[in-house]
Structure 1
Amino acid sequence: MSDIRKTIFAAVARNGIIGRDGDMPWRLSTDLKRFKAMTVGKPVIVGRKTFESFGGKPLPGRQHVVISRGADIDHPDVHMARSLDEAIGMAEKLARKQGENEISVLGGGQIYAQAMDFVDRMCITHVEADVDGDTAFPDIDPTIWVATEALDIPSGEKDTYPTRFVVYERRDA
């Protein structure tokens, strides 16, 4: 077992949708601020399409490990991996080098599905809406995951829908 905690971060609609046409189908300013505070300074793992949804440049203050079988991305804060296994190894090394004890998995759908077997924790923003989309989050199995904290956030001027932020811990962790 690694000394580096692996955490999934995702915003998920009631119907499981996390994305549409390479973007999120909502605006959640409160959630983005929390996400930034929880991930800045820590290595993040993303798939190529998710990285491209950031405008093709890394999120500020985070080293990125991008999983892609295609072309490399030339940026000092981007490291390329060919598989999730390789990405986790690279991100753990980066975390140790930076004095961090956590890496973050940011998607997309295929990466989340693969990472569910490897991560220790999930920080999920449950979006209280059913939305159209083309990318879904895997089901959260209650025999594997237990909710350890929750926070309700109402919709507002900068938050399209009400949300419930839930931290899940792996039961066998």
Structure 2
Amino acid sequence: MMLTHVTAMSQNRVIGAANTLPWSLPEDLKFFRDTTKGHIMIMGRKTFDSIGAKPLPQRYHIVITRQDLVSTNPLVKYVKTLEEAVEAAKPLTAQWGDEVFIVGGGEIYKQSMNITDRIYLTVIYKDFEGDTHYPEIPANFELVAKSDRTEPVPFSFLTYEKKK
């Protein structure tokens, strides 16, 4: 099983503001959709709430929450910890693919950085106000791919992989 972060951040590391994205970047949303479709996504409850508290099509959702929640939706499972989320994902990879995506929020990214294998990071070269930030990428990751864009604002799709 490969654990992969997928996120977008501003140049001042903002990834969210009041539980929403502080920008509109359709190409990045398409990248997120195309990348995560058919896979398992691990996320915090606030991130799940930000997508409408219902599953995105063609994805399995493991939601980390301190609340005692039970899902009636077969595509959503609630767990208490990141470790429990990873364990819950393992038996599902045969159906949903070996790459499991960690999609936020800030605290989940921070907790999972040391067990992450790959990072898909969209960097928007502009500062935004926000209350949630992406952690620093550790030195044991290397940039393996970069694709630059200029519209509607300058941004890049970056791929980092943990050094072997």
State TM-score, norm by structure 1. Answer: 0.91
* Aligned twin of 1:155: 151
Counterparts of residues 1-173 of structure 1 (less than 5 Å): 4-72=1-69, 73-96=71-94, 98=95, 100-141=97-138, 143-156=139-152, 161-172=153-164
Q: Is the 8 A contact 1:10 1:106 kept in 2?
A: yes
- Secondary structure of 1:55's counterpart equals coil
Q: Is the 8 A contact 1:92 1:103 kept in 2?
A: no
Unaligned segments of structure 1, at least 5 residues: none
Q: 1:166 offset after TM fit, Å? A: 0.4
CA distance in 2, matches of 1:92, 1:7: 14
| RMSD (CA atoms) | 1.1
CA distance in 2, matches of 1:64, 1:135: 21
Counterpart amino acid of residue 143 in structure 2: A
Identity %: 37
User: C-alpha offsets along residues 60-109 of structure 1, whole Å, 9 cap, x if unaligned?
Assistant: 1100000001041432210111100010111122112x051110000000
State TM-score, norm by structure 2. Answer: 0.95
Counterpart amino acid of residue 163 in structure 1: F
CA distance in 1, matches of 2:89, 2:155: 29
CA distance in 1, matches of 2:40, 2:8: 19
CA distance in 2, matches of 1:163, 1:99: 30
CA distance in 2, matches of 1:153, 1:76: 38
Counterpart amino acid of residue 169 in structure 1: E
Unaligned segments of structure 2, at least 5 residues: none
The list of structure 1 runs, each at least 4 consecutive aligned residues, that deviate by more than 3 angstroms after superposition, is none
